[in-house]
Amino acid sequence: MDHIAGTGRHHHDKGVDTRSLPNLGLSRPVFEVLWSLVEGGAVFSVGSILLSLAAWLRGDAAGDGLRNGLCLAAGPAYVALAWLLGRFARAPHLADTATAVPRVTTALYVCLLATALGLGGAAADVAWLLSWFALSTGTLILTRRLEGAVATVAVARRWRVRPAVIVGAGPAALKMVGAMAGRAGREVDILGFFDDRHTRAGALTRQLPYLGGLDTLADFVAEHEDIDVFMALPWTAGPRISALLERLRFLPITVWLVPDPELSALSLPQLGAPMGSAPGVIMPTLMTPPFSHWGRMAKTSFDYVAGLAILLLVLPVLLATAVAIKLDSPGPVFFRQQRSGQFGRRFSIYKFRSLHVADADAEAATLVSEGDARVTRVGRYIRKYSIDELPQILNVLRGQMSLVGPRPHAPKAKADGRLYADVMPDYALRYRVKPGMTGWAQVNGWRGETDTEEKLRKRVEFDFDYIRTWSFWLDMVILFRTLPAMLFPKNNV
């Protein structure tokens, strides 16, 4: 159980794996102070640019003393007003940064205009101030949008704003949003809510965006990846909660159970004042990611550093294999095939071509078996020792795979004539982590084809065991055991 903190602002960029970026480790309060200074500098810079442009067009410096004074005062004044009116006076979901900026800049320029008129400012000064106001507002809106991206590499995760969604629109959701709206910590940014009864969710609709029905929840969460889900359905709706968890369980996310205020006897108590702010609510977790933040950071960093080292180390083998394939049979050296990766997303996996071009099976509808006539002479050798898999180091460096993890399977691969997902209903749990070049199943002898239900079950059971018991040291053990498994193969075809 953990404390749930207040609300904040978060910007998510699709398609960018921000988890692997370097981080400065700043606290959120320090970052916001520094960013406020950046915003104040932006206000000063826009005014100075306009001031220089006006002086250049006039060819003199008349009235520049007043304007210089206003420029110098505007930066600190903006920072003060931003903290008084902008950063602690936002909508509950805090998604629209464009509303706070005009409010703060309007207050600022009303003060500057009053000062200019009080000191005998001319019409040119008023026009300059109005132009400054318009350009500063646009600049600051862009700066606020950029803040989330910069925070990703500047703010330590324990201080970082996390995106979240609420499931349900009843009393539990309303109570939670109300409690979070007044919090100063701002660790959670509620993006919106999901509910099948949108027409009856009036009170919550006025505070948060409606994101769709419950059927769309899993797709939304998969797109946003690093996101929390607050389950605020009535506790009497147990079957609905179970059905949603069944659909979400293949995603590496945290799901919280919000106490139901209508069941006061079962509601969890209000405890403490976490992080020195207003009292929070203790919520049990229904799901957690397979890796901790630090574990995931260590794994990702190791993938890139060790992946590059391995690439340089095996480069002679790669070049020799490419020449051998080219001399052995006509066709390209590499073969790309669609595989299912983390979150079930498709990606193109790189392999050395081991089949004759005319017999290539891009969808792996027919698995390669022992003595398969489609395999080339060189192909038999490189498949036996897993050399055909070495180009996947490029997938690791592209962030699509890890050095260690469950092996990625082709979407149409079958065991005993049935798709893998039909053979094992829990098969999608493998998608909670990135697929790997090698894995726990492979070093335990389960390499090669999975054409039967028994082979598939054995391999997937080892994959589940790896996900359940993962540690950085387990990855090291698997990597050290991979080389002898390649040199003395048992099942490769």
Domain limit, last residue, from 269, 287, 305: 287
One domain for residues 268 and 299: no
Give yes or no for a contact between 272 and 279, defined as CB atoms under 8 angstroms apart.
yes
Q: What is the pLDDT of residue 262?
A: 65
One domain for residues 171 and 282: yes
- pLDDT above 50 (res 4): no
Domain limit, last residue, from 230, 253, 287: 287
One domain for residues 328 and 425: yes
One domain for residues 231 and 338: no
Q: Is residue 15 part of a domain?
A: no
Q: What is the pLDDT of residue 315?
A: 92
One domain for residues 246 and 207: yes
One domain for residues 231 and 133: no
Q: Is residue 19 part of a domain?
A: no
| pLDDT tens string 210-234 | 888 888 888 888 777 678 888 888 8
User: Is pLDDT larger for residue 77 or for residue 94?
Assistant: 77
Query: What is the number of domains present in the chain?
Result: 3
One domain for residues 265 and 364: no
* Residue range(s) defining the domain that contains residue 71: 24-155
- pLDDT above 60 (res 268): no
| pLDDT tens string 317-343 | 999 999 999 888 888 888 888 888 887
CATH number of domain containing 179? 3.40.50.720
Q: Is residue 149 part of a domain?
A: yes
Domain limit, last residue, from 244, 261, 287: 287
One domain for residues 342 and 423: yes
One domain for residues 388 and 415: yes
* Mean pLDDT across the chain: 75
One domain for residues 109 and 168: no
